[in-house]
Structure 1
Amino acid sequence: MSTLVASNLLLVSFLKLPSWSPMLPSRLSSSLRRCASTSTRNSFVDRLRTELTEIEAAGTYKNERVIASPQGAEISVNGDTVLNFCANNYLGLSNHPAVEKAAADTLKERGFGLSSVRFICGTQDIHKQLEDAISAFHGTEDTILYPSCFDANAGLFEAVLNKEDAILTDELNHASIIDGIRLCKAERHRFKHMDMKDLEQKLKDTQHCRTRLIATDGVFSMDGDVAPLQEIVALAEKYNAQLFIDECHATGFFGPTGRGSDEYCGINGKVDIINSTLGKALGGSTGGYTTGRKEVVDLLRQRSRPYLFSNSLGPSVVGASLKVFEMLTESSEFVDKIRANTHHFRDRMTAAGFTLKGSRDHPIAPVMLGDARLASELADDMLKRGIYVIGFSYPVVPKGQARIRVQLSAAHSIEDVDKAVDAFIECGKARGVIS
C-alpha cells in the first residue's frame, strides 16, 4: 500500500468517515472499496475451507465415485465392473431396451427440447398423454408434470395454502418437503416420526385453521419404513384434514401391483394429493409430478412457481415414461422380482447378525453401523469385493445413526444378491460389526 493511501486511511479512521465519503479523493475511495472487497472474499473463502476441513475430520466428507457405463445391475467404476446396490433403479428400467427405444424414437419424432415453459409453447400432446397415464395409474382425477419431484414439493404448499391454514409434517420428511413448507405462509407443526398420538394432538391444536394438510413420506428414504397410512387417514377423517404423501420411494414397485404405499396400506383413493418422481423406479431420468383432485392440479397450473417458470420435460423423457407405465400396466414381472430379491437379501442379512431398519417388504435396506467413519470404510471394503454401496452419515442422517443404505433392484439376479450378502458377512466380520 502506498504512503498516500496509508496516511489517508489514518485520516478516515480519525474522522470516522465512510470510505465513500465525498471528502475522499475518488481514486482513494476506489482503492478502499477494493481492499474491503478482497478482505471480505478472503474471509468468506477461509470460512468455507475451515468448514470443509471440519467435515473431513468428522469422517462425513462425501466423495463422488464416477461411473462410466449405463445404470444397471452392473456398472463400471474406475475401470472395474461392480454390482450396484445403491441406485434408485428399483425396477431395473434405467437401461431397459424397450425404454431406451421409446426415448430414442420420441427424440427423433419430437426433438430434443421445447425451449419453453408449459403455458407458452412447451406442451406437446405427449405431455398430456403422460399426465393422463399417471392419473390412470394412481386412480386420480388429474396430474401436473414438473422437472423433478423436488420442484413438485417446492411448488405445492405455497400455491394451495396461506396464513389461514396449517401444515402438519412428519419430522423425518424428505428435504424437498421441508424446503417446500418453508416457502409457505401457513402455520407449521412438526409431529414426531410416525407418532399418531403426537399427530392427533397437533390436529387438536390447529382446529382454528381453515385447512389442515398432513404431509408425510409414504416410505422414508433413509430408513425404508412405511408411514402408518391407515391410522393417518383415520385421523384426517376424524379432524377433517387433508392428506399429502410423497411417493418417490414407492411408485411403480411397492404394493401388490406397484401402485405405491397407499396400495400397500390398503387406503387406495383416500389420499388427497400424491407427489412422486419419474427419476427413480420409473426409468431413472428426470421429472416429477403432483396427482390428485382436478381442482388442486388446476390451481397449481395457475400458481405453482416451479411449474410456471421451468422448461417442460424433454420429449424423450416423456416418451420413455409413457412406455414405462405401459409396461407396468401389462405385467407384474418387475414388481414380483424386486419383492423376491428384497425378501432374500433382508432375510439372509438378518440371519447373519446385521441390524437392518425398515419394512421387510421394501427394497431400501439400511444396514445400521452407527459410526460415520465405519460406514465409509466398510463401503470401501465392499467396493474392493465388487459391490458398490455408499455409507450415509450426518447431516443426511442423525448423528450416531450412520449406515450403508442398500437398495435392491429387479435387475439383480439371486446370485447377485447372494454375492452382496457374502461380501457383507466377510467385511462385517473383519470390521467387528458381526461375529
Structure 2
Amino acid sequence: MSLEPFFNRLRSDLEGAKRDRLYKNELILRSPQQSQVSVGDGDKSTLINMCSNNYLGLANSPELVAAARHSLLTDGFGMASVRFICGSHAIHKELEERISQFLGTEDTILFSSCFDANAGVFEALLGEDDIIISDALNHASIIDGIRLCKARRLRYLNNDIEDLERALKETSGARTILIATDGVFSMDGIVADLEKICRLAERHNALVLVDDSHAVGFIGPSGRGTPALFGVQDKVQIVTGTLGKALGGASGGYVSGRREIVEWLRQRARPYLFSNALMPAICAAALAAIDLAEGGDQLRESLARQTARLRSGLSRLGVKLGGNAHPIVPVLCGEAHLATELAGHFRENQILAVPFSFPVVPKGQARVRMQVCASHSEAEIDQVLTAVECFPSLEALKEVA
C-alpha cells in the first residue's frame, strides 16, 4: 500500500490553509525578546513588539541574565534526568518554596511548562466517579488535560455565573467536583469572576482550579495573581501557572496549592514523572524574576499606564476591543482576511502584531491580539495608534459586530 495518499492529503490541507489565510508563518527574531525586536527575514528591520507575553519586560532583564549565567557556572547546563531519579537539584526545591511563599499556598510542584502542568493535574487527581466543570473559553492545555481524565465533563458559558450554577446542579452523586477556569482568558483579556465562582464552589463543595498564566506577576497585590486580586486565595485549592510569560519568559510551569494535592502529583502526574527536570539556570532566573515582580509596583504602574493609553486611543478611533483594562488588547476583526490585512499594515509600519483566526479562535471571531509590556514607551504606543488611524480598512474595522 502506498503512503502517497496520506502525504497528498497533508499537501492539500496545507494549500487550503494558505488559500483561506489560516497558514501560520514563524517570524525569526535576531535580537533578545524586548519592546523592540530585530527580525531576520532579509530586511533586518526593527519592529515594535506588540505580541509578546513579556508583560513586565523581564525577558531580557540584566538581573535574570546574570542569575542564569551564575547558575550555568555553578549548577551545570541540564539535569539529564527526571525528578524522582536523580533530577532534583536544590534550586528546584528553592524555587518551589519561593513560588508557594509568593502565592500564599502550601506547596508547589514544577513542570516543564504550564501545558504539562495542566496535562498532568486532572488525570492524577480525578477519575470516573468525579465531575469537572470547565469554562468554555479555557486554554487549550486545560481542555487537553481534561480529555486525558476519565471524569465526567461539563461546560459553562464563558465567565457566566448563572450557567456555572446550572452545571453545578447537574453534579448530583459525584464523588468530587472540580471547577476549572483561566484566571485571565488569553484571547480576550477577560478576568474570571473568581469571587462569585468561589462562592458557588463553597455552596456545592467543589474544588476550584485556576490557570493564572496571564496574571501572575502583574495582576493583583504585588502581582500575586487573580486569587489575590479577589481575595480568595484560601478558596482556590489549585493554581497552575507559567514561568514563560511575566516571570522571565523562558519555560517552566507549576501546580501550587494544598500540600496533599502537590504530594500526590509527585507520585502520579505523568508529565512530571516522565519529563526531564527544568534546567537549573531557568530556576535561578525565575527566582530573580519573582523578586523583581514582588517589588515591582513601578513596573505594574507602567504596564497599566501604557495599557490604558492604548485601549483609550483605540476606543477613540472606534475600534472594537476585547476584554477590559488587561494588557491583552485584542482588536476584533471578525473575518480572517481583515485580521491578516491589519497585521500586514502594522508590519509595513514597523509594528509586530499577529492575526489570530480559526482554529485558534472560532470562525468569524478573528482578531489581532496586541499585548502591552511595562517597557513600552508612550512614543511606541502612539506609533501603534497612528498606524491604526491610517489603516485603509479602518471603516471596516469599525463595523465589526
Give yes or no for TM over 0.5.
Answer: yes
Q: Deviations over 1:115-157 (max 9, x none)?
A: 0111111111111010011001100000000000000000000
Contact map agreement 2:17 2:23 (CA 8 A) in 1: yes
Among 30, 39, 59, the alignment partner of 1:68 is: 30
SS at match of 1:67: coil
Alpha-carbon distance in structure 1 between the residues aligned to 2:205 and 2:392: 49
1:14-413 equivalences under 5 Å are 36=1, 39=2, 41-77=3-39, 78=41, 79-360=44-325, 362-413=326-377
SS at match of 1:109: helix
Going from structure 1 to structure 2, the CA distance change for 1:433 and 1:207 (only over 3 Å counts) comes to same
Alpha-carbon distance in structure 1 between the residues aligned to 2:211 and 2:52: 19
How far 1:176 moved relative to its partner?
0.5
Partner of 2:378: 414
Q: Deviations over 1:154-180 (max 9, x none)?
A: 000000001111100011111100110
Alpha-carbon distance in structure 2 between the residues aligned to 1:60 and 1:248: 26
1:424-435 equivalences under 5 Å are 424-427=388-391, 432-434=396-398
Q: Deviations over 1:328-350 (max 9, x none)?
A: 22331211211111111111111
Q: Deviations over 1:261-290 (max 9, x none)?
A: 122233232211000000011110000000
Instruction: State the AA in 1 paired with 2:111.
Output: Y
Q: Deviations over 1:228-274 (max 9, x none)?
A: 11111111011010000101100101124211112223323221100
Q: Deviations over 1:91-114 (max 9, x none)?
A: 000001111111111111100001
SS at match of 1:63: coil
Contact map agreement 2:222 2:295 (CA 8 A) in 1: no
SS at match of 2:187: coil
> How many residues matched?
396
Alpha-carbon distance in structure 1 between the residues aligned to 2:19 and 2:311: 33
Alpha-carbon distance in structure 2 between the residues aligned to 1:71 and 1:87: 8
* Between 61-70 and 419-428, the greater mean CA deviation after superposition: 419-428
SS at match of 1:269: helix
How far 1:428 moved relative to its partner?
5.4
Alpha-carbon distance in structure 1 between the residues aligned to 2:383 and 2:19: 33
Going from structure 1 to structure 2, the CA distance change for 1:325 and 1:428 (only over 3 Å counts) comes to farther
Instruction: State the AA in 2 paired with 1:392.
Output: F
- Percent identity over paired residues: 49
SS at match of 1:100: helix
SS at match of 1:156: helix
Instruction: State the AA in 2 paired with 1:166.
Output: I
SS at match of 1:68: coil
Contact map agreement 1:166 1:188 (CA 8 A) in 2: yes
Alpha-carbon distance in structure 1 between the residues aligned to 2:392 and 2:65: 38
Contact map agreement 1:353 1:434 (CA 8 A) in 2: yes
Partner of 1:20: none
TM-score (norm 2): 0.96
TM-score (norm 1): 0.89
How big is the alpha-carbon RMSD for the aligned residues of Structure 1 and Structure 2? 1.2
How far 1:326 moved relative to its partner?
1.4
Alpha-carbon distance in structure 1 between the residues aligned to 2:295 and 2:319: 37
Unaligned runs of 5+ in 2: none
Contact map agreement 1:378 1:431 (CA 8 A) in 2: no
Contact map agreement 2:343 2:352 (CA 8 A) in 1: yes
Contact map agreement 1:348 1:421 (CA 8 A) in 2: yes
Unaligned runs of 5+ in 1: 1-35
How far 1:193 moved relative to its partner?
1.4
How far 1:195 moved relative to its partner?
1.7
Instruction: State the AA in 2 paired with 1:76.
Output: S
How far 1:430 moved relative to its partner?
5.8
Contact map agreement 2:223 2:294 (CA 8 A) in 1: no
Instruction: State the AA in 2 paired with 1:179.
Output: D
